[in-house]
């Protein structure tokens, strides 16, 4: 009988909140981080366009099991709209398809913002990862096809005008939910203002529960790796940038367990929740022992029932 091959790399787990540089794709960034850490497994929580910079949370090892909780978190972007041109990609990358000499005033821009706040209908860009008949929209768009992408509900918690550095540009900040396209915001606002527009600069500053203070640059990682005198020192320096897996679960209640209860939970068995502050009912919660994540599950009638168990 054939044996399963041993996994290559280090079995480390944790979150790295990368400050992705503009010009680098999200998949490329994950691959580079995985290589630097020699990690067995890596993934990211929310794609950033290559032209965009900013927060790209990268999960290593067991942290990949918590990616969905970060994907659902609110995101904050700061972006610049260039007025006067609409482009195929809704950013600087594509050719111009519509243009106008009109430039909106600051008052006109501010007056439009309430229309884009709350739950709105939004059509994703032609160049997006949305699937159309089983194929990615951007693949079809690159082949010259114009596809019908259905509008969908997205939630905008906050949209603010930050600055108007010149008549042809506006800097805005948006806090939004999963599935929101900032490029679509620029396109639609330009159409509503009668001047057209596209994203000229885009930076993601937050992905809940991570904040700007957690950001680590690729340069910092590379310098830490290069300045180490040994492989042991190298990995120690890199690992210092990692956040605990449970950092992704900040919005969920925590259930502290004894070592004995944790052992039962790791085998997939439900355990009684004890303690004065322990929840009696919770659709989602996480269990810990000695401060370490053991499982994610639900609390029903005072029992913690595991859904995902962690081996770290």
- Whether residue 111 contacts residue 240, with contact meaning beta carbons closer than 8 Å, is answered with no
Strand (E) or helix (H) holding 141: helix 137-142
Q: Pairing between strand 85-87 and 254-256?
A: unpaired
Q: Decide if 277 is catalytic.
A: no
Catalytic residue among 19, 49, 91, 188: 49
Six token digits for residue 203: 């930076």
DSSP string over 164-217 = EEETTEEEEEEEE-TT--HHHHHHHHHHHTTS-EEEEEEEEEEETTB-GGG-EE
Phi, psi of 156 (to 5 degrees): -110, 110
Q: Compute the distance between CA of residue 217 and CA of residue 56 in angstroms, rounded to an integer.
A: 10
Compute the distance between CA of residue 231 and CA of residue 104 in angstroms, rounded to an integer.
56
Q: How far apart are the first and last CA of the chain?
A: 30
3 state SS for 89-149: CCECCCCEEEECCCCCCHHHHHHHHHHHCEEEEECCCCCCCCEECCEEHHHHHHCCCCCCC
Active centre residues (catalytic): 49
């Amino acid at each position: 009988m054939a044996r399963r091959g041993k996994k290559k790399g280090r079995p480390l787990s944790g979150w790295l909140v990368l400050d992705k540089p503009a010009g680098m794709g999200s998949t490329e960034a994950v691959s580079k981080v995985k290589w630097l850490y020699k990690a067995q497994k890596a993934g990211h929580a929310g794609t950033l366009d290559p032209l965009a910079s900013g927060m790209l949370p990268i999960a290593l090892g067991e942290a990949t099991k918590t990616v969905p909780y970060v994907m659902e978190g609110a995101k904050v972007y700061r972006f610049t709209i260039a007025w006067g041109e609409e482009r195929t990609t809704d950013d600087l990358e594509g050719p111009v398809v519509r243009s106008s000499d009109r430039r909106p005033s600051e008052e006109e821009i501010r007056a439009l913002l309430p229309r884009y706040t709350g739950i709105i209908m939004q059509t994703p860009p032609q160049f997006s990862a949305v699937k159309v008949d089983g194929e990615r929209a951007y693949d079809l768009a690159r082949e010259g096809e114009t596809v019908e992408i259905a509008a969908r509900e997205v939630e905008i918690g906050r949209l603010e005008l930050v600055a108007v550095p010149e008549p042809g540009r506006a800097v805005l900040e948006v806090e939004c939910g999963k599935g929101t396209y900032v490029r679509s915001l620029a396109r639609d606002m330009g159409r509503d203002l009668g001047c057209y527009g596209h994203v000229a600069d885009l930076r993601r500053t937050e992905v809940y529960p991570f904040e700007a203070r957690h950001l680590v640059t690729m340069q910092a990682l590379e310098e830490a790796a290069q300045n180490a005198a040994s492989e042991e020192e190298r990995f120690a320096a890199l690992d210092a940038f990692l956040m605990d897996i449970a950092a992704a679960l900040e919005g969920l209640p925590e259930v502290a367990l004894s070592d004995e209860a944790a052992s039962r939970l790791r085998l997939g068995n439900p355990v009684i929740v004890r303690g004065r502050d322990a929840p009696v009912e919770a659709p989602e919660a996480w269990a810990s022992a000695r401060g370490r994540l053991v499982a994610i599950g639900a609390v029903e009638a005072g029992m913690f029932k595991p859904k995902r168990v962690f081996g770290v």
